[in-house]
Amino acid sequence: MSLLRPATSEVVKQDLIEYCCEVYQMDHNGLHGYAHWMRVLHNGRLLAKAEGANIKVVELFCLLHDTHRQNENIDPKHGYRAAQFTKTLKGVWFDADDEEMELLEEALAYHSDGYTEGNITVQVCWDADRLDLGRVGIKPIPSRLCTPTAKSANVLAAAYQRSVTILKVGKETI
């Protein structure tokens, strides 16, 4: 996993990452596992900085958004389950005020519903995930993204290249 190990932060600590990996019940070599989380984290950090979003909420979203998927295909309740799970982590794995928790729960619960309107932090979370659609052969479309930064040609191209390159390299890098 060393190729995909993120820089740690006040929120992203190695023990939290490892705990999320333990909780995840599917194959990390699949479409929604660890490598995807790390690419979403990369995207989220870039977007949060450019858009002035709450970095704590964004980083937590990136780690937690797919932790409660039950399959690789259609799982419309996985975001809601992740939002509920997040409540059990507050005060144990991270600290967050009520507003941050509301934003995090909203971002998690609705991240795969296709919404584009919301608080800038929630929008950054959604875009961070959507920018990694190349892993499933989908090129992100600017009209389905929320933020000006995510819609920019340079960001779109770089994110798509990262997701496709990891997909082509395969399981050996994970």
DSSP string, 22-58: HH--S-TTSTTSHHHHHHHHHHHHHHHHHHT--HHHH
Question: Six-digit token pair at 71?
Answer: 């399959």
Mean of per-residue pLDDT scores for the chain: 91
25-29: long-range pairs with CB below 8 Å, 24+: 25/70, 26/69, 26/70, 26/71, 26/72, 28/174, 29/171, 29/174
Question: Six-digit token pair at 7?
Answer: 């820089």
The 3-state DSSP class for residue 170 equals coil
The 3-state DSSP class for residue 164 equals helix
Report pLDDT for 2. 37
pLDDT band at 1 (very low <50, low <70, confident <90, very high): very low
Per-residue pLDDT at 3 exceeds 90 = no
Residue 42 to residue 48: CA distance in whole angstroms: 10
Dump pLDDT digits (tens) for 83-127. Answer: 999 999 999 999 999 999 999 999 999 999 999 999 999 999 999
Per-residue pLDDT at 173 exceeds 60 = no
The alpha-helical segments, DSSP class H, found in the chain are 14-23, 34-51, 55-64, 78-89, 98-109, 120-130, 148-151, 153-169
What is the pTM assigned to this prediction?
A: 0.91
Dump pLDDT digits (tens) for 22-52. Answer: 999 998 888 999 999 999 999 999 999 999 9
Report pLDDT for 97. 98
